[in-house]
Structure 1
């Protein structure tokens, strides 16, 4: 059996319940186009799930097909899909408190994140948002945590309308909630590297102290700083909070360039670290070679002016597409196809 993607998608939709507990036999199964950050994918969902309201785990068919292409083992892939769906349903039932799934409490649990505006034009048609330079602020609904991580859902226009919330309502609530749910974290890159090393190696306290002293000898004006949040989840949005950024600028004694490392963190460097164009080229290369498409934020660099206390774009490079597609060529192709 050698299935193409469309054949695989239809077969897995028809077969998945055969590999699951009998109690799910009457559930409905649907595959919908899902606008994930930076790309469109096919999401498989169950509905009419016994005992579960307002939420359903999503399995991405694209990822399953990649595994099928890699192994050629359909039975193995569909068993994994079935186990993942059952585990997700059980996790929702066991770990997510029922009151958090109550959409009337959305305003209490909404927080904001940053995504690339150009790359997500289609997604932005479906969700409340506001622009910030070449980015867009979007809103997510925090459902809670379990041993596997944090559960969140993107707030779409239908949900906001159902709860009677305008984009401004969401922004005001999220501005307060985000810094409480995900407190801003700014650390010297040397400190971050040290934590990574010692967290894995278990080096004794004396050696840790010696390492830290050596790292701290680097002057502030020559350092790189990681800006994220304590959860390291959607932490790039931390750069929207001006007060911690200003405090860092005061510490290094000047203006800053902000480099978008991913949707989860950004890197701050002193303004004399290099030209913005050179820094943007570095950001672009790292994005294309090391950052998953789902996590890319921007290929541009931002400038924080310590005196004006403003954050704005420092570059307008041609490398704007996060999937490494030439935007000019794509636009010409689209025009030619009309």
Structure 2
């Protein structure tokens, strides 16, 4: 079965299983880093929002030998778990007072998203860009969002400075953070349970350096957690606790890894490792950067 036949068969199978009260279609979607994916949309007639299910990954499962019916069942189960309970009132998005408390920021790669950045507000940060989005209050998983565009700022009569100030206040409250010792994760977890790119990135360097463990930093829901490095005083307090400077490894847009400088690896070696893993293990749309960063306690600053 080729990819086009796979997509057509998915629509036919799911439409048969769910019935005629659902609108089921495929939409081409440009993701982070300019990656184009095919999103399956399953939307009941009475709602105006639905989770996007990317078929590119499921086609890879088919090529790996997973039966077609099993894939369809997995897709339906995913939809039933993640679909919103109600529609979203799009009008609320026109009122800044209503949405202000839902605005957050995230980090993306600057060079890989130049076309997108022409149309959205952003702040340059090293080789990255701080961009902004609105979390939808009716999201069942609390991770459905709308990216904020330049036209939204015009509609709200809001400056980029004020937008950043709002997001800077909101994001730690909306997303929180988790800072986990990787040695504890590796000791207490089955290797098969650890996300593949995370394990590859950390298992080798930290295996013999338990005196200076690495730490995974992410948001509490593991979405856009790399932005936690922007939280006010978080890195400062971490460096005070460990009593040393550290490197920051951008393992994806969803998390970073903090490596004490007492570890035997150099910034160049860590950057080489990040780049290698990005090209072999991380989904292209999840790549943040090929560079490791350095945090200085004395300067309270991140540099490349």
Choose the corresponding residue for 1:118, options 103, 111, 115: 111
SS at 1:151 equivalent: coil
CA distance in 2, matches of 1:106, 1:139: 13
Aligned to 2:203: none
Structure 2 residue 54 is the aligned partner of structure 1 residue 60: yes
Q: Deviations over 1:190-232 (max 9, x none)?
A: 34446647xx9xxxxxxxxxxxxxxxx965xx33233223333
SS at 2:144 equivalent: strand
CA distance in 2, matches of 1:117, 1:76: 39
Aligned to 1:41: 37
**Deviation, structure 1 residue 14:** 6.7
**Deviation, structure 1 residue 75:** 6.1
Choose the corresponding residue for 1:133, options 115, 123, 126: 126
Aligned to 2:198: none
Aligned to 1:298: 289
Aligned to 2:144: 152
Q: Which runs of 5+ in 2 are unaligned?
A: 194-208
CA distance in 2, matches of 1:16, 1:232: 29
Q: Deviations over 1:100-124 (max 9, x none)?
A: 9942433221211112222333443
CA contact (8 A) 2:247 2:260 kept: yes
RMSD between aligned residues: 3.6
CA distance in 1, matches of 2:67, 2:185: 41
1:168 to 1:42, Cα distance in 2 relative to 1, 3 A: farther
The farther-off stretch of 289-298 and 257-266 is 289-298
SS at 2:101 equivalent: helix
**TM-score, length-scaled by structure 2:** 0.74
Q: Which runs of 5+ in 1 are unaligned?
A: 201-216, 314-338
**Deviation, structure 1 residue 248:** 2.1
1:76 to 1:184, Cα distance in 2 relative to 1, 3 A: closer
Aligned to 2:222: 232
Choose the corresponding residue for 1:260, options 250, 254, 272: 250
CA distance in 2, matches of 1:64, 1:112: 30
